[in-house]
Amino acid sequence: MSMHSHIIGLGAYLPERILTNADLERVVDTSDEWIRERTGIRQRHIIAKEEATSDMAAQAASRALADANIDIGDIDALIVATTTPDMIFPATATILQAKLGGKDFPAWDIQAVCSGFIYGLAQADCMIRAGMFRRVLLVGAEAMSRIIDWRDRSTCVLFGDGAGAVVIEGREQEGGVIGSILHADGSYRDLLKAEHPHEHATPDAFHTEGIDFSTDAAGIAAIEMKGNEVFRVAVTKLGEVVVEILRKYGFHSRDVDWLVPHQANIRIIRATARKLGMSMDRVAQTVQYHGNTSSASVPLALNELYRKGCLEPGQLVLLEAFAGGFAWGANLIRWSKEKKG
């Protein structure tokens, strides 16, 4: 009998420090009203100076393992989706493996920016179906605040830090991950990017509520985005991919119980919901509290639904994300984990 990939554990971590829109009003030419109207974001979490991406990942992963009632010795493979690795090499996944006390099993990173978790879930599912692994720990973790130019009001308001994790297990039981759709088009690469480090030290003026945004580095890699163009393409591609995945696997939009979208912009989320004819009360929404946490946003939103007791066995859950590259995709899941709460 064929194996099916079931999510058996979920975990999340958000740094303690919170940066509100009001905080940003004091240091850059923006306003709470402007940010909320255009993005839906009210606040975001900021990683501590002494923390690394792997530290956030370790917190989320440990909670996912505990939720699955297993330990790191029961894991066959570890995948970390991240745009902000601890270092160029080794992979953040191997650093995380050591922090969790694991060894010997394969561990590697995926870089598909905000679509990293979607790509990682598709990859883990294929490997489990092929019989290569039984249990995979998949983590999306990002320290996006470290690749932001805090003088650029068009991008500094958008991003936050955090990590989300799931444990995926192969079972003969029907359900679990039904399938995935992945796309990319590199011709759009200049619309949303972060090049190698260049000169633009963050101003010393960025001190608010105990959060120090100054840096000793002469230059850091920073996100550059042509927002209007990215918005238009994102709305189009996400509208297409959610229809495509439902059609491929024989479902209709009315069959979807929960949409778990990438949390980048509330207007993009609403547009995708409209494409599916879904009311927003069936859509996971964390963008207002987390901002755009890139590859961490989908697992963070999924974890919140689970922790609130919203997800029930038998429900059809649709995940989707759009990212720089451009890379985008969707996963379709027949939820099988018992309701939380």
Domains of the chain plus CATH, in order, are: 4-176 (3.40.47.10), 179-200+220-334 (3.40.47.10)
The pLDDT profile of the chain, 341 residues, written as one tens digit per residue, is 688 999 999 999 999 999 999 999 988 888 999 899 999 999 999 999 999 999 999 999 999 999 999 999 999 999 999 999 999 999 999 999 999 999 999 999 999 999 999 999 999 999 999 999 999 999 999 999 999 888 888 888 999 999 999 999 999 999 999 999 999 999 989 878 788 764 443 444 445 554 555 544 445 678 888 868 888 988 999 999 999 999 999 999 999 999 999 999 999 999 999 999 999 999 999 999 999 999 999 999 999 999 999 999 999 999 999 999 899 999 999 999 987 65
Instruction: Find the DSSP H helices in the chain.
Output: 21-25, 32-39, 53-68, 92-100, 116-129, 227-248, 266-276, 287-290, 297-307
> Which pTM value belongs to this model?
0.92
Q: Which residues are catalytic?
A: 114, 262, 292
Q: What distance in Å separates the CA atoms of residue 261 and residue 62, rounded to the nearest whole number?
A: 24
Distances (CA, A) of 163 to 102, 127, 130: 19, 23, 28
Q: What is the pLDDT of residue 212?
A: 52
Only one residue has tokens 């940003």, namely 24
Q: What distance in Å separates the CA atoms of residue 141 and residue 300, rounded to the nearest whole number?
A: 10
Q: What distance in Å separates the CA atoms of residue 39 and residue 269, rounded to the nearest whole number?
A: 10
- Decide if 295 contacts 83 (C-beta within 8 A): yes
- Decide if 105 contacts 75 (C-beta within 8 A): yes
Q: What is the pLDDT of residue 205?
A: 42
Angle made by CA atoms 268, 61, 323, in degrees to the nearest 5: 25
Q: What is the pLDDT of residue 253?
A: 93
Reading the block at residue 284, the tokens are: 């996971």
b/e map of 60-86 (b: 16 or more CB within 10 Å)?
A: bbbbbbebbebebeebbbbbbbbbbbb
* Residue 305 CB partners (closer than 8 Å, separation 6+): 258, 260, 284, 311
